[in-house]
Structure 1
Amino acid sequence: MCTPTPHNGAKKGDIAKTVLMSGDPLRAKYIAEKYFEDVVQYNTIRGMYGYTGRYKGVRVSVQGHGMGIPSIGIYTYELYNFYDVKNIIRIGSAGALDENLKIGDIVVGIGASTNSNYGKQYKLEGTLSHIASYSILKELTSTADDLNIQLNVGNILSEDVFYGDLDTLRNWARMGILAVEMEAAGLYMNAAAAGKNALCMVTISDCPFTGEAASAEFRQTKFNDMMKIALETAIKLK
């Protein structure tokens, strides 16, 4: 397919090989303005802002992907298959399912369980395990150690429903699921199908079982530890 696409106004070469992605396009805008030099905005279509700039001299892109697997499915498919992107790191928010997690804690999804039917398109006679790329995970955990930032690494849940049933979430928690979000499994499936790399890292923004929740402004701008880890990892990736 030719570029630009119906969802992305970028031309070939406008987007870096490594892209940081967030559900909220304003978080992408915040990262570009706070951390990048020589910033160029390559997308405004549907308000899904995308930017390319330099972080410590290395070319990196950041873009919004919207909410849910269908939305991230479109944007990441195009990035991998039409724009030659190699690595995508999702930097998002999540609800804590593990009782030991608190608002502001960082979780890395080495695996992403899901109740979505997105995987049906692959016509597999079984259940696909949706996992992160080790090449990114290795660099990211090393980066977090260097920055002295604690990570919680494990399985997360990619839900299709934002206002989900709490008893259902408790069942997932009993199986060792750390946190719930809405996109990682679709990202991991698209990466696997394209032969590319992906990882989802989230900051806990709410606790469904207690009702505690961070503000919208906190979600947009206060995830700086997660952003720093992602940026420092991005400049190490090939």
Structure 2
Amino acid sequence: MSKTPTPHNNAKVGDIAETILLPGDPLRAKFIAENFLEDVVQYNTVRGMLGYTGYYKGKKISVQGSGMGMPSMGIYSYELIHFYGVKNLIRVGSAGAISDKLKMLDVVIGMGACTDSNYAHQYNLPGTFAPTASYTLLESAVNVAREQGVEVTVGNILSSDIFYGDEGLESYKRWKKMGVLCTEMESAALYMNAARAGVNALSILTISDCIFTGEECSAQERQETFTKMMEIALNVVK
């Protein structure tokens, strides 16, 4: 706790709640803070990665942008866990549908996160690590979704280091045959950092584009219309 503020976060110890929502887009963090939280205080503006703490139904909760890709998520989640004492980290992000079962704006909960990243090499493991969500948060999110009448799909997702791939759609076809639901760029690093530190992590995603049909949301829609995902995440930790 002695390294706060960090080079990436000007919050002080105590400014950030034990439960935090992590949208990749800092403007989505701003949207959540302004539309769902009360008594909001902005604690971070470094690098434009906005962070806020407020209250939701009387519960202290924070929300902060985490950026794009596993290196960015790795930095922010590590600092939140080790320097600010965060115990529950819930990614609320966008994803591209791989499975034919998914359509635009569907909500997906990442039970496991496949990856093409070498992020796990730092742990010097004697095999392949399987990044998974914390069951406590996963079970709670599914129950909250049922209570809210929101249909969710739970399963395996892909966290990729690559957005513009040299192979185009071919690599996604290979993940698709293994039942992978969708692709994004952060969850595997979040799950690994949480596992290493013994804290809880979960990714709740909204389908923003369908890779094989070319459908996609606008940037503004990504910031402001994924409210079902946000409301589930806000109610996961009681």
- Distance (whole Å) between structure 2 residues aligned to residue 208 and residue 53 of structure 1: 36
* Structure 2 SS opposite 1:91: strand
Which residue type is aligned with residue 35 of structure 1?
Answer: F
Kindly state the Cα deviation for residue 10 of structure 1 after the two structures are TM-superposed: 0.4
- The question of 1:213 aligning with 2:200 is answered no
* Structure 2 SS opposite 1:212: coil
- Distance (whole Å) between structure 2 residues aligned to residue 30 and residue 51 of structure 1: 10
- Distance (whole Å) between structure 1 residues aligned to residue 5 and residue 71 of structure 2: 20
1:127-146 alignment runs, 5 A limit: 127-146=128-147
- The question of 1:191 aligning with 2:194 is answered yes
* Structure 2 SS opposite 1:192: helix
Match of 2:228 among 188, 204, 225: 225
Deviations 1:185-229 (A, max 9, x none): 000000001111000010000011111111111100000000011
Counterpart in 1 of 2:66? 65
- Distance (whole Å) between structure 2 residues aligned to residue 115 and residue 138 of structure 1: 27
1:2-41 alignment runs, 5 A limit: 2-41=3-42
Kindly state the Cα deviation for residue 4 of structure 1 after the two structures are TM-superposed: 0.3
* Structure 2 SS opposite 1:112: strand
- The question of 1:81 aligning with 2:82 is answered yes
* Structure 2 SS opposite 1:98: coil
Counterpart in 1 of 2:183? 180
- The question of 1:125 aligning with 2:130 is answered no
Kindly state the Cα deviation for residue 171 of structure 1 after the two structures are TM-superposed: 0.3
Which residue type is aligned with residue 167 of structure 1?
Answer: E
Give the TM-score normalised by structure 1. Answer: 0.98
Report the identity percentage: 60
Kindly state the Cα deviation for residue 170 of structure 1 after the two structures are TM-superposed: 0.5
- Distance (whole Å) between structure 1 residues aligned to residue 111 and residue 183 of structure 2: 13
Deviations 1:141-180 (A, max 9, x none): 1100100100000000001011232110010000000000
- Distance (whole Å) between structure 1 residues aligned to residue 141 and residue 174 of structure 2: 29
* Structure 1 SS opposite 2:42: strand
C-alpha RMSD of the superposition: 0.6
* Structure 1 SS opposite 2:21: strand
* Structure 2 SS opposite 1:107: strand
Kindly state the Cα deviation for residue 231 of structure 1 after the two structures are TM-superposed: 0.7
* Structure 1 SS opposite 2:235: helix
Which residue type is aligned with residue 222 of structure 1?
Answer: T
**Runs of 4 or more above 6 Å deviation:** none
Kindly state the Cα deviation for residue 89 of structure 1 after the two structures are TM-superposed: 0.4
Note the residue ranges of structure 1 that are not aligned, 5 or more in a row. Answer: none
